[in-house]
Chain A
């Protein structure tokens, strides 16, 4: 268990709903759910999930902390916004799902081998280097996400698309040598550091 996770368990004891309300983006909405089921039935990926949003919200209220934060459900959300559009109570469901995913990650409880979680990490690592997403490197790291040999296989499969993109100038091979970035790189890194500090202060076991 990470230190932060241990601190949170200690602080909120069995009241997971309170923990979610205080720390998860849009978490204060969870109690407004009336369990009608419209979001669950409206999700285009619904049958591919372990738990639907409706069920996740009930689990939060039932204090099923581990089961929620370990779940892959939040990571499956594609942000189609069907549920938000239909929820009769106006819950920002998509945002809560992402908020929960983020919080699970902070607590070190996100599922390790979940592909979208892995990709999110790749995306982040790529972005923070230069302040711009390097699509060539991101694409390649995505292909090699599950090991070297599978990476080669995927690269070969995608070869024609890649060449097409090069031809139409949708991708530049020069990106491989560093690539473009924001002008004020030092400023960008400072900003990230500050944001991290603020975030750590917000979610931390030691304050208030």
Chain B
């Protein structure tokens, strides 16, 4: 059984992405007891799936490492992975949360040696790479995963593969008897940081994501650049593995659209500008990026980044929302159809690879929150006194980049600290 001490002076953080990690660490470093509950087998959330960060083009792993070190050094912080909050009851200062912990089938003895993975035969879809490849059913979610501990996919439990994994482990870390656990925890305040998910590109019918191999999403493109990713860090198109040198980006794919997401996802313009630098990084002067846009929203200081990309001769900008994509069956190239707003020219242009700049949608469904909370039309959490001691952090509150998500999370931590301070004073 997982033994955790929690009181009404404890802060519960739901979601361990960059926002949840930040809120948890900031609160823990003020001396508060914090429990972080993360659904995945590792913390870091979606930034761990990015190749580089705009605007500085540094690697997210660097910031993640700092956070992981901070969390290891802090005795006030308890991290539960593969754990989900199923219910919260009570009020500010006195909440009870029900938490479901799924079995990992690997205990703390794991050294990350990987012998279990070598022994297992079954391959399962690699979620970390958005299903672009498969991995063994005994796996480390990604190289930098924290905790550095393998996971067994439930699909092999009860099969020979599970026994093979157990036999291969020299450290007695594979525990096939692990069961799902349901525990209850007390908390004075809750920070809700469940983040975002990419909008489902299959819903944008005219862009044919479901029909054309060479139409992919921006989150998949990030994975392609990762040297440990599905293509070993090469920009290769899915249909035939050909080098993708002529890449088109389609902005607002599913955002600012009454048929899809109403809101502007704010980060996707910057994400495509950033990704055009990947294309140039990969192919130098052979690279060609074309960004189809309604208007480029590089907010605040990001304007400088936009200017820099505009100066790159390998990047073209076409002011037009693409109307539809049709595949050229002969060479697998997607052909983009539309009309250019600057001059109203009709075009039908082929590219080798098309990246849909899909937007950010809240990861938790409007109706699936385990507690009554104020949610706006787009499904993001609104600040409201009716939320009591529950505070949103990061992209659960709006489509935010990392910088803004982290600022927002720090604010949420402060509010949570204020609530548990009140509890502490009342309890004397």
Contacts and interface: CB of A to CB of B under 8 A. Distances in A.
Interface in B242-258: 252, 256-258
B339 A54 contact: yes
B324 A55 contact: no
Nearest to A88: B257
Name the prevailing secondary structure of the B interface residues.
loop
Given A88-B252, A88-B321, A37 B339 contact: yes
A40 B344 contact: yes
A18 B259 CA distance: 28
Contacts of A131: none
Given A36-B321, A86-B206, A88-B321, A41 B258 contact: no
B338 A38 contact: yes
A36 B256 CA distance: 11
A41 B324 contact: yes
A162 to B, nearest CB: 39
Contact of B323 (A34, A37, A89, A90): A37
A155 interface: no
Contacts of A86: 206, 259, 323
Interface string B295-337: 0000000000000000000000001111110000000000001
A89 B337 contact: no
Contacts of A89: 258
Interface residues of A, number: 20
A37 B258 contact: no
A37 B206 contact: no
Contact of B341 (A35, A46, A85, A88): A35
A37 B324 contact: no
A104 B337 CA distance: 31
Given A38-B323, A40-B323, A42-B324, A54 B344 contact: yes
Interface residues of B, number: 21
A171 B53 CA distance: 70
Contacts of B338: 37-38, 40-41
Contacts of B324: 41-42
A47 interface: yes
Nearest to B292: A37
- Most chain A beta-carbon neighbours within 10 Å: one of B206, B258, B323, B346: B323
Interface string A83-113: 0011111100000000000000000000000
Contacts of A71: none
Contacts of A41: 320-324, 337-339, 346
A46 B252 contact: no
Contacts of B341: 35-37, 54
Contacts of B402: none
A162 B353 CA distance: 52
Contacts of B322: 38, 41
Contacts of A35: 294, 341
A52 interface: yes
B207 to A, nearest CB: 11
Interface in B12-33: none
Interface string A60-92: 000000000000000000000000011111100
Interface of B: 206, 252, 256-260, 294, 319-324, 337-341, 344, 346
Interface of A: 34-38, 40-42, 46-47, 51-52, 54-55, 85-90
Given A36-B252, A38-B323, A41-B323, 15 more contacts: A35-B341, A36-B321, A37-B320, A37-B323, A37-B338, A40-B344, A41-B320, A41-B321, A41-B324, A41-B339, A47-B346, A85-B259, A86-B206, A86-B323, A88-B252
23 contacts: A36-B321, A36-B341, A37-B319, A37-B321, A37-B341, A40-B339, A40-B346, A41-B320, A41-B321, A41-B339, A41-B346, A42-B206, A42-B323, A47-B346, A51-B344, A52-B339, A52-B344, A54-B339, A54-B344, A55-B344, A87-B258, A88-B259, A90-B258
